[in-house]
Amino acid sequence: MALQAPAAPARALLLLLAFAVSASSSTHSHSHLVSAPAPVPETETTTGSSSSDGCGCGPTPPPWDFENQKLTALYSVIQTFKRTITSDPLGVTSTWVGTKICDSADNGTAYKGFFCDHPPDSPPGTRTVASIDFNGFHLRAPTLAGFIDAFPDLALFHANSNSFSGNVPDLTGLPYFYELDLSNNAFSGSFPDTVVPLGNLLFLDLRFNGFSGSVPAPVFALSVEALFLNNNGFSGDIPDSAFGSTTAEYLVVANNQFTGPIPRSIFNVSGTLSEVLFLNNRFSGCLPYEIGLVEGLTVFDAGGNEIKGPIPLSFGCLSDVEQLNLAGNQLYGHVPDVLCALAKTGKLGNLSLSDNYFHSVGRLCMELVRSRVLDVKKNCILGFPRQRPAMECAAFYADPSKHCPFIPHIPCDLPGFRPPAFAPPSKALPATKTTGHGGGGGN
């Protein structure tokens, strides 16, 4: 899966939903907006001599036509931030003039990047800035503090592909806020503590920055649908409790320095987690059997780590998986047909097991190798091209520290993979739980 940082999609419907959900519980006061002194709008210069000569042909202020007091107050916030911007190669800020702050809602070109809507605690028809989308603007400013946290009705902020830095502002005072994208910027330092209390957050994207250090456990308890932390310098273990509380459908922590095992509690997100990318970290330990219990998983990528052990037969239960990458680890043993069967009975279209220590493949797996669905180069499979040297393979298998326990059990009903024929009927496993030692060659 590509890990470029594309612009996050606009979510107008979610914006309205967030307003509706937050309306009943909001206690935010806007009295300071009503009492704020009226700012002087930025003037647009005209040709002619300076007004100082008394001819009256100098700059003329635009009409005082702000829609409401909310927008009157936000004008000065925008202009103050505009003066802090040190680079604007696309000339975006040249549109931040005049009083038509909600021009984008009317298909206009003024105030590019600002979008208005109707907050629920205001009189009908009262518009204010509800979302800010600076994706791809390539703006540079030393801080966002005092800017995005000064929009009391803001619901989302997107700033993909800019050069913002400094501290991430405290947004806990924004009752409708639910989406934060700071990807592909110049932020650094430890994980921003100001994000942790954002209990209503649905989307958090911090990828492609210079953050480092551990990720606080409460981050994984945020009510997010998508959590993107990839391409930073985060380190330390992912706490085992992380998968007992996360609601994320998409979890991407790739290209960091995370260590320790993949938490076995991952089975707790069955039916919720759809895509998880662990690739290119320093994860170790045995490949968890519990991964095969995650119903609805479509993408699992743990390539480029230090994970060891055989492939659990439970992986054959991942009926929805489309992409599975375990390349570049220390996995070994037999590649089971119960996994490769997913290319026929399930949705599996891409399976990479290269750069490991597997010594053999099943019959169905052999078919996937021939059809190039399965990549097994740089392993220890006799007779296969582009494998590891024999001495390297022998040394690996002789090292007991590389070994993990194997569980000969399939926790789902897979046609062709049945319990042992000699099992007494009274003690046979239920139909939904079969072993992999019978007619299908599951192990």
Residues 177 and 289 in one domain: no
Residues 292 and 162 in one domain: no
CATH code of the domain in which 176 resides:
3.80.10.10
Instruction: Give the amino acid at 389.
Output: P
Interval 190-228: pLDDT, tens:
999 999 999 889 999 999 999 999 999 999 988 899 999
Interval 325-381: pLDDT, tens:
999 999 999 999 999 999 988 899 999 999 999 999 999 999 999 998 899 999 999
Region label for 69, one of left (φ > 0), alpha (ψ between -120 and 50) or beta (otherwise): alpha
Interval 278-292: pLDDT, tens:
999 999 999 999 999
Read off the pTM.
0.80
Q: Which regions of the chain are under pLDDT 70?
A: 1-64, 415-443
Contact between residue 103 and residue 47 where contact means Cβ atoms under 8 Å apart:
no
Residues 177 and 302 in one domain: no
Q: Per-residue b/e over 275-289, b at no fewer than 16 CB within 10 Å?
A: bbbbbbbebebbbbb
The number of distinct structural domains making up the chain is: 2
- What single string gives the DSSP state of each residue in 92-120? GGGG--SS-TTGGGGT--SSTTEEEE--T
Nearest residue to 418 (alpha-carbon basis) of 400, 393, 437, 405:
437
343 assigned to some structural domain? yes
Last residue in a domain, options 156, 186, 216: 186
Identify the domain containing residue 440 by its residue range. Answer: 285-443
Residues 181 and 321 in one domain: no
CATH code of the domain in which 407 resides:
3.80.10
SS3 content of the chain, % helix, strand, coil (to 5): 25, 20, 60
